[in-house]
Structures are given as C-alpha cells and as structure tokens.
Structure 1
Amino acid sequence: MIANILLLALPLALAYFFSALWHRRFKQFADFPQLPPSLLWGHLKALHEFTLKALPGLHHDHLLAEMAKELGHPPLMLVDLRPVTYPMVVVTSHEVAEQISRVSKLFPWSTPKSPTMGALVSLIGPQSILVKHNEDWKQLRKRFNPGFSPQHLMTLLPCILDKTAIFLERLDHYARSGQEFRLLKLTIELTFDIIGAITMNVDFDAQHSESSGQGEFIRLYDQLLQNYGDKDRRLPWWMYPGREWRRYRLGKQIDQRLDAMIRQKHAEQLPQQQSGKTARSRDILSLSLQDSQELTKGLLSETRDQIKTFLFAGHDTTGILLAWLFYELSRSPRVLQAVRDELDDLFGPDPDPAVVRQKLLDPSGGEELIHRMTYTTAVIKEVLRLYPPAGTARMAAPGTGFTVRTPDGRSYCLDGAILYNCATIIQRDRAVFGDNAADFVPERWLGDKSGIMSAGANNDDSNNTTTQGEAANRKYPPGAWRPFERGPRNCIGQDLATIEARVIVAAVARRFHFVKVGLGELDLDEKGRPVLDDKGQYKTKSEVYNIAQVTAKPCDGMRMKVRRRP
C-alpha cells in the first residue's frame, strides 16, 4: 500500500520540482539582461566556458566583463549561480551602483551587506564592521571613526616613515644583489607592519628578511590567508569541511593572541582613565578604549573583530595598490618623470629618504606637502581605477521591494539576489572615461577634486552627495570612481591607504627603478632598448593580470628586479 502511494507521489513530486525550477530559472528574473541559462546549472556552465577561454586563474571580474560585453554592456545583468549560491545581479553602471550604496527610505544606512560575506568570518570576525547592519554598524563606525580621520592620521606619519625605512633597506638589498623578488610580498609586509603599528602600536616584524624571523602572529595570519586561495572560493562550506576547519582553527588561534593584546592595552590605559588623564598612546585601539572603564566579554570580542578587520583590509588594499603603482611607473616613462619632477619641486632635488622624512615631519608644512602631491595623487587614483582590489556585495531580502532604475528608464526589483557593484567594470566604462578607459592615464584626474581625502569621507552619516558647486570641480561622475565604495558604508580606512601610498612613493620613486620580470616584462629592440608604443608606454611581451585571493592580486606576485638610480 505504502509502496503504491510512493509510486503515485513520485511523479507529482518530480513535476512540482521541475515546475518550481523552471519558474526560478526562466521566469523569476526573466526581464533581466542575461545569457541563456541552463535549467539545472543556471549560468554556472556559461561562466565555466568563459573561464576555459581566459588566462589561467583570471579574476572573475574580467570574466563578468566578457559576459557583459557579449550582452552589449547592459547597466546590470543576472548571473544565476544557483544551486551553488544565490543568484547575482552584476552592476556595471555607476548610476545603478549609486542607488545601491546610498541611503534610501528602505535602508537608512544603504543596502545591507550580502550574507556571502560570512565566508570571511575567520578573517574578519562575526562582529566585523563589514557585516554589521543598521544601528549596530552605525555605533561601530562612530566608535572607530576618530582613529581614521585625516587629522589624526597625520600625527602617525613618524610610524609610517619608520616602517618605510625598513622597506627601503630591503629594496637596497635587492638592488645590490640583483636578485629577483616578488614586489607584492614586500609591499604587503610593509603595509602589515604599518597597520599593526597604527591600530595597536604593535611591531609585528612582518618585514623581517627571513620568514623564520617573523613573529608567530604573522606566521599564523599567513597560514590563514593561504586557506583563502582562488580555488573553490565560491563553493559552499559543506563541500570542503576540511578547509573550513583549518580556517576556524587558525582564526581562533589569532583571536587568542589579539585578545591578549587588547587586554594588555586596556590594562595599560586603565590607571590613566581612573586618574582622568588622557591616554598617551594614540593608536586606533587606544582611542577606541579610552572611555571604557571595564573590558567586558562583549566589548573584547567586538573590539577584536574590528582589529581583525582593520588588519586585513588595512594591509591588503594598500599593498596591492603599491605593487601595481610601481609596475605602472616602471613601464610609463613619461608618468615616472612627472612624479619625480613633482617630488623634486616639493622636497628639493636630493632624493635621500632622510630629507623626505625631515620635510614630512616639519610641523609647519609636512601635511601641506602631502596635499600638494597632486600628480602623485592622480597616479594613485588611476591605479585604483584600473586595479580596484574589490567591489561590494549587498542583498535586499525577498519581499523588501528594493527597486533600482537604469539609465534607460527601466526598473528592476533586486530582492533576493546578491548585488555586486563590480568596480572593475564600472571604472573602465568607455561611456564615462572615453576610448582610453582601459589605459593608464593619470592626467585624467588633474583638476578633479573628488575621491581622496575629500570632506566627509569618513563621516558615518555621509552619503557622498554632491553639491552643484562641487560638481563643477569634477571631470567625471563621482560614482564612477569607487575603489573604496561610496555612501555611508564606504571604507573607513581610505584616507590611511592614500596617505600611506603618497608617503611611500615620495620615499621610493626617485631612489629606485623597477624592472618587471616574467609576465609583463619589457619588449626590447635589437639594441636592448625598450620600445615605446603610441600611448607613451613601453611595449611588453605579455600581460600581468589579476587573480582572486580573497581580493584581486597580480597573478605572479609582481616579479621584479630593482636598481638604484645613479
């Protein structure tokens, strides 16, 4: 009897399953621009086919760009990743991206972050400012904003310069030896040292010449990052339980060490708090604890997760930026000379880092010098435009009714899908940046007043709105440049990243000359001289490109040689 019932029910169940699948696959998002989906695999099959035609390991942003190109560059497109994960709406228009990142009646602090951020929990913690929402997020932003204000960061210039001096010594070593090295490793170790000192006044010794000489914390952190490689990064945790266990175990070991550092910092500050004195230490952790008489369990875990977040984002973005920046300078002689000329004008003709340090630390003009590095700032903006480390992923829950309007006047309800503001595509939009959108042209930013150390950048209520007067000083729509994202949930550390970059370029650019090795190396003529192309850059034998290792990083670690300038 039961067997007969099951036999009768099975066809009905299968019919219901395929009917529901058909609706989800072909009807739910039918009005969205998209490639033809597979009934069972959605766009996973199409994505795989694009992967097979691409360079090995090419970052998914560039695969999505090829998909958008095939569709005629729509302002958004659907990429259905079910059954592996949620369907994804890839946003390729700055106008649509602005609607997602800004405040709205539905979302007073902009569209909530995507639940897929949970994959980073071992790196950033479950209470990270990156994943918190609404009032919880606002209070965290308010608590930590003072430590990231440009005015406060300028007081930390000695720390940045101290760590940069070690970086210069390492480059001197490679210049003397003629050895090849991976520039990304050096820049990331430099920026990790800087963020450790700025956030906690701790010396992680990340720039030690031998890995064995680095501290235990650095070794644990490196092991954790190795478990976030490109392979299988988009697959659910249950498909790779061993990988998830390793992440969890390493994350907990890092938590224990950070907890000890936070407890020590609080204990050091407590006597000063009780006596009514201002804490001497000005690192970000000290500032965040200065009004906390008691370090409760909740405060400890919340603080630790923010420190984890700052350590990750604070070293990664700037390290990647510097690697790409020195690569672009190495193959762009006109740009390199313009940077050096500007530095000569500001710091004098002597490129000695000691001279740069002295002038930057001069209380009467050091901050002004950084603000006057207009061409160097344009170079930084252009590198971040071409090579943004990451975009942002948001999600409006099903039934929310979150709708955006595209430039052609059409409306789309985005409920239930990952909303991916793809900075790589948005920032290379030919409709905005012209026919040279894919070219390295820092001059495009000269005279543009938006994006770096602009007023309100780190205000937790900031919506990055633009007045009519401000718009007159901008060459491009403000939303078309978004490497730190926009709206109230923009990157809290964007000013730190760009201040660091300017200081490091000031110390390095006139002292060293970088030469690419392997991918991206220069194509020489019969006399061994580099050959200029019609865009004023040296021709290269091949292309360096980004792969995904949590964020977008150069595929070969930016293999380089370096020599001292005469």
Structure 2
Amino acid sequence: MFKPVFFAALSLLATYFFNKLRYKRFRQYAHFPQLPPGLLMGHLKTFDDFTRRGKPDRHTDAIFADMIESLGSPSIMLVDLRPINAPVVVITDYTTAEQVTRTTSLQPTSLPKTTLAYLEPLLGSTSILVSHGSEWKALRKQFNPGFSPQHLMTLLPSILKQSKPLMNHLDNLVAGNTDFSLVEYLTNLTFDIIGSLVIDTDLCAQSEPGKRGELIQLFNEMMRTYSDEKSSLPWWIIPFKARKRSLVGARMNELIQDLIRRKHAEQQQRGLNSERTSRSIMALSPQDTKELSSELVSTICDQIKTFLMAGHDTTSTSLAWIIYELSRTPRALSAVRTELNELLGSDSDLKVVTSKLLSTDGPHFVRGMKYISAVIKETLRLHPPAGTARFGPPGDGFKVRTPEGDEYCLDGLTVYICQPLVHRDKSVFGETAGEFRPERWLDGAVDGNTEGNFPAGAWRPFERGPRNCIGQEFANIELRVIIALIIRRYDFTKVGLGETSLDENGHPTLLPSGQYAVESEVYNTRQVTGKPVDGMRMKVKFASQTSG
C-alpha cells in the first residue's frame, strides 16, 4: 500500500514542478523579446554558446550585443539566467533607459539599484551604490560637500603632487624602451589621488611593491579575486574565492575603521575652524559629530571603500582608453596639444605646467579645456567603464514603453542598461556611431566634423537621474589635469592588440575616419568594471623624439 501512494505522490510532485518550470521558462516572460530558452537551463546555454563564438574573455556587454543583434536589435531583451541569477532585461535604447532612471511617485529616487552580493566584501553592505530611498538620500546629503565643484578645485595641488611619480615612471620607461601595462601605472596613480581626496592619506600605491601601504596591498589582493569571468557567480559556486574575499574584506574594515576614529579624534582636538583641519571626504562627512558610534563608523567605512574603489578604477581605465584613442588619431592629438599650448603656453615641462595650474588662474585653465572635454566625453561614449543594474520591486507595476510602441512590466526583474549599446545607437549618432570623433561634442565645427547636438539621455557613462555618480565632476577634473601633464610630453604607441597597421614603406595607414588602421582590436574584459584585456600595453617616447 505504501509504495503505490509514495510513487503517486512523487509523480504528482514531479508534475507540479515540471509545470511550474515550464511556466517560468516559456510563459512568464514570453512577451519579452528573447532568444528561445531551454527548459532546464533557460538562456544559460545560449549565453555560453554566444560566449564561445567570439573572444571568450570579452566583456558581458559584447556577448549581450551579439545576442541582441541576432534578435534584430530590439530596444530590450530578456535573458533568463535562473538559477544562477535572476532574469535580466537588457536595455539598449536611451528613451527606455531614461524611464528606468527617472523618479516616479512609487520610486522617488528612481528604481533601486540591484543588490550586488558578490561585491559586498569589496564595497560593504551599506554602500551608497546599493542603498535606496531615505538611506540613500541621507548618504548622498552627507557626502555631497566633499564632491562640490568648489571644493574639488581646491584639490588641484594634491592631484599634481600625486602625478609626479607617474611622470618619473614614464621618464624611466622612455629610457628603457620597453613595453608596459599603462592601466597598471594609471591605476596606481588614481589610487593615490583618490586616497588623498577621500581619507587624506598617502597610500603609496606608486611606490615599489614592497613599500606600498597595507591598505593598497589588500585592495590589490581583493581585486585579484574578481579578475575572471566567474567572479560574479554566487558564493556557493565559488566558496574558496568567497572565503578569501571575506577575510581580506574584514582586514580592510579594521584598517579603515581605525583610520576613521584616529582622524576624527585629531580633528576634534584641533577644532573645526583650524587651518590644519583636513578637507578630505572622510573628515567632512562626520565633522559635526563629537562621538562616533560603531554603526556610523561602519557606514563611513563602507562609503570610503566605495569611493576608493570607484574613484580609482573607472578613472584609470578611462584615461588608458583616452591615451589609446589619441595615439591613433593624429588630428585629435594635435588639437589637444594646440589647446594646451594656448591655455598653458608652449613649455610642457612639469614644473612649468604645475605652476600654471597652481596659480590663481588654475581653475580657469581647467575649465577652459573645451576640446579635451570633448575627447573625454567621446572616449566615455565609446568605452564606458561601468553600467548600472536596477531592480523592479514585485508588485510595483513599474512599466516602460519602448520606441517600438510595446509596454513591459519590469516587476521582479533585474534591469541592466547596456551603455555601450546605448552610446553606439546609429539612430542618435549616425553612421559614425562606432568611430572616435570628439568634434561631435563641440558647439562649432572643427574641420567640418561637427555632427550636431544629441539628447542628454543618449550619453550616460555616469548614469542619470538622482542616482547619477557622485564623483563625476571630480573624475572630469582629474582627467583634464592628468592629460594636461602628459599628453604634450609623451607619445604613446600601442603594442600587441590594437597595434597600428603599417604599409610597405613602414608608414601608418590612415582610415577615412582620421584614425590609424590597426592590426587587431583591443577589447574590454570584465573585472568588476570593464578593463582592456591586455592592460593597454604601450611603449612611450618623449614627444620631441617622434613629433615636432
């Protein structure tokens, strides 16, 4: 008697789960544009198939791009990655993206950011990146003073001071005539800069490996756990890596929390109005608080980790792409150097440029870099270092309408705005959408290349709406200053991937776009954010050796 009942119950249970799985795979989101899902794997196998069709280590965005193209390039695409991740809606159109990042009556600070559990050891559980609602508003208000344009301009001396070791390293690389990872040197530079800005501490990231501070060593150790395509998998799939992150993260917390308490005590002892009072973000945020609770210290610690991570990682990668694009675009390189000559004089010596930028006219010079700003904007359009993922809370009934006229409810779905696809939309940027043309961002024509104004939402490397990047103004200032220091002094030449094609006479081949043809394409891999696969390997010479 027992066996028939048992097998009957087992059969009913199997039927129930089979029907439920069929519903989730084939009916729940059947109205969304998507490739055919599998019953057991959803789109996991499809994603793997597309991964194998190209460079297997390329960024997820490139794989999504191939999948979307195979569907006929709809404005959105559903990717069912259960049970590894929740279903994802990939957005490729700026008008749809604008609906996701705007405020609504239900979501006054826009759709909440997706909880990034795999990044918690790196950023902390209360990071401003993943907080929402009133908690996010309080954090933004608390840290906004440290990122105000007026305050940031007072940081020029620190940026210039931290840039000097980079110049020394580059001078030595010129003498050695060896190739090197540009991203590595720029990452160390931006880490030292953001360390000064956020915690008023020299992290010694540009020192020899054995002389670097413990905090920078821990950050590097942590980043190595995020250096491959498996880095974002759930902890139960990569338990040893997850354990490593937890241990390193705990030690980082100890160091930063101790630093917070020590700096706060020093500031309280000196008095808020002392000329020696630190103007770092860490000091500005709790300056009116006499006693720090454990909860407040933990929260500040998470924000410091977030600012250190975001402030060095994306800026260094963007700067590497800027240098690469300028190295293969002679007209743009010439225009940048001409602008700097007009603003700062023709002498590119470090001491001369530094004195100009430290003068009372320094902020004016930085704001006057119009063409350089266009270069930065165009590079961030083509190579945005990071995207944004939101979540549609179940039951909210949040809907978006695509340009095709279709309406979709995003409840319970991860919503990913794929910036590289939004930024290369030919309906917005024309047939040159995939080309590096800084002139498209200028008010007036430069060599007849201006292409008009574009909708604000079509350019979103810092994202838009109330949840836009708090550090975007600092990133722009930092990039302009570093460009001013190095672009006239050095010529960079890509080696390996992205190397310039030469004709039979050994001369570069110039394309109609005004760029040199290359032997192969440099592409991004995913290492928390997008990074050039080869670290942007370069050789460098003094500009006087290679150009007049």
TM-score (ref. length: structure 1): 0.93
Where in structure 2 are the equivalents of 1:45-60 lying within 5 Å?
45-60=45-60
Paired with 1:53 and 1:412, the residues of 2 have a C-alpha distance of: 30
Q: Does 1:70 align with 2:70?
A: yes
Look up the match of 2:296: 299
Q: How far is the alpha carbon of 1:352 from its aligned partner?
A: 1.1
Look up the match of 2:224: 226
Q: Which letter does structure 2 place at the counterpart of 1:132?
A: S
Q: How far is the alpha carbon of 1:528 from its aligned partner?
A: 2.0
Change in Cα spacing, 1:442 to 1:511, as seen in structure 2 (3 Å) is same
Paired with 1:13 and 1:84, the residues of 2 have a C-alpha distance of: 23
Change in Cα spacing, 1:324 to 1:105, as seen in structure 2 (3 Å) is same
Q: How far is the alpha carbon of 1:71 from its aligned partner?
A: 1.3
- Asked if the contact 1:279–1:286 (Cα under 8 Å) also holds between the matched residues in 2, the reply is no
- Asked if the contact 1:76–1:92 (Cα under 8 Å) also holds between the matched residues in 2, the reply is yes
Deviations 1:405-448 (A, max 9, x none): 11232210001111001111111111111111111111111129
Deviations 1:485-535 (A, max 9, x none): 111010000111110000000000000000111111111122222121121
Deviations 1:309-349 (A, max 9, x none): 00000000100011111111111111100100111111111
Look up the match of 2:448: none
Q: Does 1:347 align with 2:344?
A: yes
Q: How far is the alpha carbon of 1:110 from its aligned partner?
A: 0.5
Q: Does 1:493 align with 2:505?
A: no
Q: Does 1:545 align with 2:523?
A: yes
Q: Which moved more, 1:277-286 or 1:145-154?
A: 277-286
5+ residue gaps in structure 1? Answer: 449-472
Q: How far is the alpha carbon of 1:218 from its aligned partner?
A: 1.3
| Aligned counterpart in structure 2 of residue 357 of structure 1, from 354, 368, 389 | 354
- Asked if the contact 1:32–1:78 (Cα under 8 Å) also holds between the matched residues in 2, the reply is yes
Where in structure 2 are the equivalents of 1:168-179 lying within 5 Å?
168-179=167-178
Look up the match of 2:333: 336
Equivalent residue of 1:89, what SS?
Answer: strand
| Aligned counterpart in structure 1 of residue 422 of structure 2, from 422, 426, 439 | 426
| Aligned counterpart in structure 2 of residue 313 of structure 1, from 298, 310, 313 | 310
Q: How far is the alpha carbon of 1:212 from its aligned partner?
A: 1.6
Look up the match of 1:475: 453
Q: Which letter does structure 1 place at the counterpart of 2:408?
A: Y
Q: Does 1:180 align with 2:201?
A: no
Paired with 2:298 and 2:132, the residues of 1 have a C-alpha distance of: 17
Where in structure 2 are the equivalents of 1:140-159 lying within 5 Å?
140-159=139-158
Q: How far is the alpha carbon of 1:213 from its aligned partner?
A: 2.0
Change in Cα spacing, 1:279 to 1:144, as seen in structure 2 (3 Å) is farther
- Asked if the contact 1:109–1:134 (Cα under 8 Å) also holds between the matched residues in 2, the reply is yes
- Asked if the contact 1:189–1:207 (Cα under 8 Å) also holds between the matched residues in 2, the reply is yes
Equivalent residue of 1:193, what SS?
Answer: helix
- Asked if the contact 1:230–1:550 (Cα under 8 Å) also holds between the matched residues in 2, the reply is no
Look up the match of 2:511: 533
Paired with 1:152 and 1:421, the residues of 2 have a C-alpha distance of: 31
Paired with 1:154 and 1:3, the residues of 2 have a C-alpha distance of: 79
- Asked if the contact 1:147–1:283 (Cα under 8 Å) also holds between the matched residues in 2, the reply is yes
Paired with 1:2 and 1:327, the residues of 2 have a C-alpha distance of: 73
Q: How far is the alpha carbon of 1:220 from its aligned partner?
A: 1.3
Paired with 1:200 and 1:438, the residues of 2 have a C-alpha distance of: 39
Cα RMSD (Å)? 1.4
Where in structure 2 are the equivalents of 1:364-379 lying within 5 Å?
365-379=361-375
Deviations 1:192-232 (A, max 9, x none): 00000011110001011x21221222111101000012231
Q: How far is the alpha carbon of 1:190 from its aligned partner?
A: 0.4
Q: Does 1:442 align with 2:438?
A: yes
Q: How far is the alpha carbon of 1:18 from its aligned partner?
A: 1.2
Paired with 2:543 and 2:267, the residues of 1 have a C-alpha distance of: 46
Paired with 1:429 and 1:368, the residues of 2 have a C-alpha distance of: 34
Q: How far is the alpha carbon of 1:276 from its aligned partner?
A: 6.4
Change in Cα spacing, 1:120 to 1:37, as seen in structure 2 (3 Å) is same
Q: Does 1:39 align with 2:44?
A: no
Give the length in aligned residue pairs: 538
Q: Does 1:261 align with 2:259?
A: yes
Paired with 1:475 and 1:18, the residues of 2 have a C-alpha distance of: 53
Equivalent residue of 2:6, what SS?
Answer: helix
Look up the match of 1:110: 110
Look up the match of 1:162: 161
Look up the match of 2:447: none
- Asked if the contact 1:205–1:214 (Cα under 8 Å) also holds between the matched residues in 2, the reply is yes
Q: Which moved more, 1:283-292 or 1:152-161?
A: 283-292
Q: Which letter does structure 1 place at the counterpart of 2:495?
A: V
Q: How far is the alpha carbon of 1:474 from its aligned partner?
A: 7.7
Paired with 1:408 and 1:559, the residues of 2 have a C-alpha distance of: 42
Q: How far is the alpha carbon of 1:139 from its aligned partner?
A: 0.4
Paired with 1:272 and 1:139, the residues of 2 have a C-alpha distance of: 27
Paired with 2:490 and 2:357, the residues of 1 have a C-alpha distance of: 20
- Asked if the contact 2:112–2:392 (Cα under 8 Å) also holds between the matched residues in 1, the reply is yes
Look up the match of 1:27: 27
Equivalent residue of 2:415, what SS?
Answer: strand
5+ residue gaps in structure 2? Answer: 445-450
Q: Percent of counterpart pairs with the same letter?
A: 51
Equivalent residue of 2:539, what SS?
Answer: strand
- Asked if the contact 2:225–2:231 (Cα under 8 Å) also holds between the matched residues in 1, the reply is no
Equivalent residue of 1:536, what SS?
Answer: coil
- Asked if the contact 1:329–1:336 (Cα under 8 Å) also holds between the matched residues in 2, the reply is yes
| Aligned counterpart in structure 2 of residue 240 of structure 1, from 235, 238, 246 | 238
Q: Does 1:411 align with 2:407?
A: yes
- Asked if the contact 1:279–1:290 (Cα under 8 Å) also holds between the matched residues in 2, the reply is no
Paired with 1:508 and 1:279, the residues of 2 have a C-alpha distance of: 32
Paired with 1:281 and 1:542, the residues of 2 have a C-alpha distance of: 48
Q: How far is the alpha carbon of 1:279 from its aligned partner?
A: 6.3
Q: How far is the alpha carbon of 1:9 from its aligned partner?
A: 0.8
- Asked if the contact 2:166–2:185 (Cα under 8 Å) also holds between the matched residues in 1, the reply is yes
Look up the match of 2:99: 99
Paired with 2:269 and 2:203, the residues of 1 have a C-alpha distance of: 26
Q: Which letter does structure 1 place at the counterpart of 2:58?
A: L
Equivalent residue of 1:435, what SS?
Answer: helix
Q: How far is the alpha carbon of 1:539 from its aligned partner?
A: 1.2
Q: Does 1:213 align with 2:198?
A: no
- Asked if the contact 2:21–2:39 (Cα under 8 Å) also holds between the matched residues in 1, the reply is yes
Q: Which letter does structure 2 place at the counterpart of 1:191?
A: T
Deviations 1:113-169 (A, max 9, x none): 112x12110111101001111001100000000101111000000000011111111
Paired with 1:488 and 1:558, the residues of 2 have a C-alpha distance of: 33
Paired with 2:430 and 2:151, the residues of 1 have a C-alpha distance of: 38
TM-score (ref. length: structure 2): 0.96
- Asked if the contact 1:515–1:561 (Cα under 8 Å) also holds between the matched residues in 2, the reply is yes
| Aligned counterpart in structure 2 of residue 271 of structure 1, from 235, 252, 269 | 269
Equivalent residue of 1:41, what SS?
Answer: coil
Equivalent residue of 1:548, what SS?
Answer: strand
Equivalent residue of 1:238, what SS?
Answer: coil
Paired with 1:2 and 1:255, the residues of 2 have a C-alpha distance of: 57
